[in-house]
Chain A
Amino acid sequence: MFIFTNLSITIASMGIVLAATSFISGLQLVRSTSASIEGMIHRANGYLTIILFIVLTLIAISSSIINIAALLLPLTGLAVFLVKLWIVRRHKRFLKYVSWMGGILITIWLLVFYVNIPV
């Protein structure tokens, strides 16, 4: 398919799929009877998106014409991700905010997709 001839848009598409999977499993994690399975899906897909954020950042840096939005969005995504990890592991009292942060991450992936649409 023509759309996926561009590396950035391909990675952004994978990011949306993984982020959606991770987000749904994160919501299910709260009320699931099989929390360990939901947790595994949530973490596996979530950590994969970190790799994709890093790859997108490297692509944006290596581009001959630096697109500020294409550079800042994955960096923002990484920052939100790290804050989310920090909350989950160290500051459980902020746990009520993590589903919002998951929503922000999905929004960032959508923006990454639109920013990287090939012209």
Chain B
Amino acid sequence: MLPLTAFLLIYSTIIVPENYKTIQEAVINASLEDTIIVGEGIYKENVSITRPISIISRRGPDFTTVWAAVPSEPVFKVSNVNNVAITGFTVTGSLLSGIYLYNSNNGTISDNKTVKNANGIILYGSSNNTVAGNSADLNANYGIYLDSSNRNSLGKNSASSNNDNGIFLSSSSYNNLTDNNVNHNTWNGIILWDSSNNTLKENKVWRNRFGIVISGGGNNTLINNSTWSNIYIIMPLILAYIGIISYLVQRRVLQTIYRV
């Protein structure tokens, strides 16, 4: 077991903006497996990550926003690298993707808000990643998009109010989608396109044009997902009916009390 000082020498912590003004500068100067802590504020930049590091916001996504300086590029792009973690940012303003993993494995994307991009989170050719606790809402196309990406875990994410699909798996297999909220997307809630052996468990897929769509592929497992597309249309009628019953009950009670 390494002593603490040796640990600190091997894995150091870089603080933005104290040590470096921008996140990208900190990434360039980081060593392998360093942690970059980002203070609150709005950072207008595109961050390209090509080495295994962790980038964590100090105060969470409500206080730390990264805005695409070049809108045609992703805000965070992770290319050909394993073991990257991105945690706790609001990521917005990209015409491509908020967070983009390209050929990158074993990463962790957690507790981010990837809103108002073309796509919230894209995984392309990336495997064994954990995408958890993110809000991929209000994007122009997809909330979370996996292409040729296998054995990833998507849990407790929100992919809602996107202008196309909430979660889109294309040619992706052995992924686990658990306890995600996928609501109010313009087209499909969750779509599996030519994707096999995926497990969808306890996802809430409400008020989308189509709930869960499986096209091509096979051996996908669906367990306890709820797709109550029309509950909110029926609900007020049920409530008004309860109101009428409530009137009858109140009248009977008062008639009994006042002996009318």
Query: Interface residues of B: mostly helix, strand, loop or mixed?
Result: helix
Q: Which residues of A contact B184 (CB under 8 A)?
A: 119
B160 close to chain A: CB less than 8 A: yes
Is there contact, CB below 8 Å, between B250 and A41? yes
B260 at the interface (CB under 8 A from A): yes
Instruction: Classify chain A's interface size.
Output: 20 to 34
The listed residue (B207, B231, B236, B244) touching A24 by CB distance below 8 A is B244
Residues 83-119 of A contacting B (Cβ, < 8 Å): 106, 110, 113-114, 117-119
Question: Least Cβ distance of B259 to chain A in Å?
Answer: 11
Residues of B within 8 A of A13 (CB): 235, 239
- Does B161 sit within 8 A of A, measured CB to CB? yes
Query: Looking at chain B, what size class is its interface with the partner chain?
Result: 20 to 34
Cβ < 8 Å to A, chain B residues 213-245: 226, 231-232, 235-236, 239-244
- If A37-B255, A37-B260 touch, whether A16 touches B240 (CB-CB below 8 Å) is yes
> Given that A119-B160, A119-B161, A119-B183 are known contacts, is A16 also in contact with B254, CB under 8 Å in the complex?
no
Given the complex, which residues of A lie within 8 Å of B7, measured CB to CB?
A: none
B242 contacts which chain A residues (CB < 8 A)?
17, 20
Question: In the complex, which residues 1-34 of chain A have their Cβ closer than 8 Å to any Cβ of chain B?
Answer: 2-3, 13, 16-21, 23-25, 34
Determine the distance from Cα of A104 to Cα of B240 in the docked complex, in whole angstroms: 14
CA A21 – CA B244 in complex, angstroms? Answer: 6
Question: Considering the complex, which residues of chain B in the window 90-130 have a beta carbon less than 8 Å from any beta carbon of chain A?
Answer: none
Contact among B137, B226, B231, B246 with A21 in the assembled complex (CB-CB below 8 Å): B246
User: Do the beta carbons of A20 and B239 come within 8 Å of each other?
Assistant: yes
Kindly state the separation between the CA atoms of A117 and B230 in the bound complex, as whole angstroms.
Answer: 12
**Separation of A113 and B239 alpha carbons in the complex (Å):** 11
Q: Which residue of B lies closest to A111 (CB)?
A: B236
B232 touches A41 (CB 8 A): no
Question: Which residues of chain B have C-beta atoms less than 8 A from A40's C-beta?
Answer: 254
Query: Once the chains bind, are B247 and A18 in contact (CB under 8 Å)?
Result: no
Q: Tell me the complex Cα distance, A2–B243, Å.
A: 21
Asked if residues A2 and B226 are in contact (CB atoms below 8 Å), the reply is: yes
Other A-B contacts than A24-B244, A40-B254, A114-B232, 17 sampled, CB-CB below 8 A, are: A2-B204, A3-B231, A13-B235, A13-B239, A17-B243, A20-B241, A20-B242, A21-B243, A36-B258, A37-B254, A41-B254, A45-B250, A106-B240, A113-B232, A113-B236, A113-B239, A119-B183
Residues on B lying within 8 angstroms of A by beta carbon are 137, 160-161, 183-184, 204, 207, 226, 231-232, 235-236, 239-244, 246-247, 250-251, 254-255, 258, 260
The 30 listed contacts between A and B (C-beta, < 8 Å) are A3-B235, A13-B235, A16-B236, A16-B240, A16-B243, A17-B240, A17-B242, A17-B246, A18-B243, A18-B246, A20-B240, A20-B242, A20-B244, A20-B247, A24-B243, A24-B244, A24-B247, A25-B247, A25-B250, A36-B258, A37-B251, A40-B254, A41-B247, A41-B250, A41-B254, A113-B235, A113-B236, A113-B239, A117-B207, A119-B183
Listed from nearest, the 10 A-B pairs whose CB atoms lie closest are A20-B243, A16-B239, A17-B243, A21-B247, A20-B240, A24-B247, A21-B246, A37-B254, A21-B243, A34-B260
